[in-house]
């Protein structure tokens, strides 16, 4: 396995390795910064494991590993920028679905907590009204 180095773009996060779930590149491995295409100033650190300008070539070019030590050469298969963009679009869609599921779960918990709070307030009001009624009754008897 190749080393997961600090991102050269944002210098904030370490590279992560993922496996493609797209129809165009099923099971294909790629490396990227977790901040890739996130926020207003997204990181551009993204490499396929194979193909031209791959992650291995990036590691060699930046001195993280040497070819003599690994005995490996660059990738042979070519893939276009369109493949990368479609992969990123699918990844964003998957992230959106996950966020929606998390939000739905959180909303269900919030609604349950609000229902519990409403019940607690109703019981408190009942107790206060009952206490006031008893106090008025006691005062009226005197």
pTM of the model: 0.48
User: What is residue 58's predicted lDDT score, i.e. its pLDDT?
Assistant: 85
What are the sequence ranges of the domains in the chain? 16-141
Could you tell me if 51 and 33 are in contact, meaning their C-beta atoms sit under 8 angstroms apart? Answer: no
3-state secondary structure of 142: coil
Query: CB-side exposure of 129: number of CA atoms within 13 Å?
Result: 6
pLDDT digits (tens, 9 = 90+) for 11-35: 778 888 888 888 888 888 888 888 8
Which whole-number Å values give the CA distances from 54 to 5, 119, 132, 137, in the listed order? 14, 60, 77, 85
Q: Read off φ and ψ for residue 17, nearest 5 degrees.
A: -115, 135
Rg (CA), the chain: 29
The tens digit of pLDDT for each residue in 90-107 reads 666 666 555 566 666 666
């Amino acid at each position: 396995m190749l080393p997961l180095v600090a991102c050269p773009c944002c210098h904030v996060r370490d590279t992560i390795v993922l496996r493609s779930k797209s129809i165009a590149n099923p099971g294909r491995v790629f490396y990227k910064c977790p901040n890739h295409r996130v926020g207003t100033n997204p990181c551009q650190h993204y490499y396929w494991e194979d193909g031209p300008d791959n992650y291995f070539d990036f590691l060699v070019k930046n001195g993280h590993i040497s070819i003599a030590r690994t005995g490996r050469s660059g990738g042979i298969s070519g893939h276009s920028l369109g493949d990368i963009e479609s992969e990123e679009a699918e990844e964003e869609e998957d992230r959106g679905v996950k966020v929606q599921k998390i939000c739905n779960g959180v909303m269900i918990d919030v609604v349950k907590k609000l229902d519990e709070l409403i019940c607690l307030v109703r019981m408190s009001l009942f107790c206060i009204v009952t206490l006031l009624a008893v106090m008025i009754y006691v005062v009226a008897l005197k």
